[in-house]
């Protein structure tokens, strides 16, 4: 289903609020209140005025932009509460709203609104507005080299030419991707033309929201071993002796970086699938059932950028580790939080 128009959204908001709250509700479109409070809607509910902004897109970058808009409108509205309205609120967007103290409603039937007069929290309703086809994506495999490069160097500014040269992306495509990121306020171009990341956490969240580990080619199998840490070292040694580029990722990389927790599945990126001789050397039995080894041929070689070595094991950069944990089982979510807090906490970063 396509995103609703503002007029349709107005009716849907009123319908949802009447289902959730037994009280008089008045939803007014911008034609009545735009000059006074701004925004697309004002809502009168239990003695409170909410000033709402409707966005037809729900990616976290758009949500972050809208949060600043509604907060400013609420400040100008003499005590009005800020409200963000989207077709469907994703996990990253909801997290951003929570941190900024902004309430939200999605037109799929979920919400989080908290004031001193009422509390509304609804979750679990499916997305009714999934888009068909592939949207324009600044985080497509080769395009994502630019975000990776900027996040590996979050405190620096770069000329676009240097970004192109150091990522191996041609100048024209680099310009296009940077422009897309700039439109979402994920990067900023200074007066001298240099590009910087004003909020690395937001850029990482926007990428994480789009990232899909399953798009890589994954060979799953079993290698006899009583200890996954020892297995990681043995596999790294075998790959080091071969002519294949490699780097540990996922839970194995998280262990090397943080010692977060023991793990069962050892994951390595390889520049190509292993030949039979290498499979025999490491004792790999191909079988996805009960697999303890994932060998991954990436959809773009950029995953190796920023790799380093620890305890004689090559591993991907923490940015890539964090992204890849999204596609892993076991305690991957907790491991990702550990990586983020130890290596990717830019809360005190000045950009």
Domain span including residue 266: 213-343
Does 42 or 134 have the greater pLDDT score?
Answer: 42
Where residue 103 sits, what CATH number does that domain have?
3.40.1350
Pair (175, 283) in one structural domain: no
Does 76 or 107 have the greater pLDDT score?
Answer: 107
Pair (79, 93) in one structural domain: yes
Pair (224, 337) in one structural domain: yes
Where residue 300 sits, what CATH number does that domain have?
3.30.460
Does 304 or 134 have the greater pLDDT score?
Answer: 304
Pair (117, 154) in one structural domain: no
The pLDDT of residue 10 is above 50: yes
Within-domain flag for 206: yes
- Given this model, what pLDDT does residue 72 score? 85
Confidence at 78, pLDDT banded by 50, 70, 90: low
Within-domain flag for 128: no
Where residue 195 sits, what CATH number does that domain have?
1.10.10.10
Whole-structure pTM value = 0.85
Quick one: which of 98, 69, 99 has its CA closest to 82? 69
Does 242 or 76 have the greater pLDDT score?
Answer: 242
SS3 3: coil
Within-domain flag for 132: no
The pLDDT of residue 211 is above 50: yes
Within-domain flag for 252: yes
DSSP assignment of 203-252 equals: HHHHHHHH--GGGSEEEEEE---S-HHHHHHHHHHHHHHTT--EEEEHHH
Quick one: average pLDDT of 103-119?
93
């Amino acid at each position: 289903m396509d995103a609703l128009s503002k007029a349709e959204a107005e009716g849907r908001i009123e319908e949802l609020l009447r289902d959730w709250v037994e009280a008089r509700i008045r939803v007014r479109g911008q034609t009545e209140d735009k000059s006074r409070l701004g925004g697309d809607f004002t809502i009168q509910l239990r003695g409170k005025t909410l000033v709402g902004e409707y966005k037809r897109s729900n990616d976290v970058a758009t949500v972050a932009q809208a949060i600043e808009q509604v907060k400013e409108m609420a400040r100008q509205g003499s005590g009005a509460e800020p409200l963000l309205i989207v077709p469907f609120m994703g996990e990253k967007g909801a997290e951003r709203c929570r941190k900024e103290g902004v309430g939200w409603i999605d037109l799929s039937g979920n919400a989080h609104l908290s004031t001193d007069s009422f509390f509304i929290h609804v979750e679990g309703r499916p997305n009714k507005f999934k888009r068909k086809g592939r949207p324009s994506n600044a985080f497509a495999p080769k395009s994502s080299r630019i975000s990776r490069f900027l996040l590996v160097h979050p405190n620096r500014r770069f000329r676009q030419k240097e970004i192109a040269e150091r990522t191996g992306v041609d100048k024209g495509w680099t310009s296009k991707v940077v422009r897309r990121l700039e439109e979402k306020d994920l990067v900023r171009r200074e007066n001298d033309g240099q590009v910087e990341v004003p909020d690395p956490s937001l850029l990482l969240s926007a990428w994480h929201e789009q990232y899909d580990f399953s798009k890589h080619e994954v060979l799953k199998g079993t290698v006899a071993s009583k200890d996954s840490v020892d297995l990681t070292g043995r596999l790294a040694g075998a790959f080091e002796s071969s002519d294949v580029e490699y780097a540990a990722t996922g839970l194995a990389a998280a262990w090397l970086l943080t010692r977060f927790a023991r793990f069962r599945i050892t994951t390595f990126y390889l520049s190509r699938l292993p030949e039979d001789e290498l499979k025999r050397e490491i004792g790999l039995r191909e079988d996805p059932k009960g697999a303890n080894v994932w060998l991954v041929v990436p959809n773009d070689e950029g995953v190796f950028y920023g790799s380093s070595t620890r305890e004689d094991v090559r591993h991907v950069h923490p940015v890539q580790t964090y992204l890849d944990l999204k596609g892993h089982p076991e305690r991957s979510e907790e491991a990702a939080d550990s990586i983020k807090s130890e290596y990717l906490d830019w809360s005190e970063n000045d950009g």
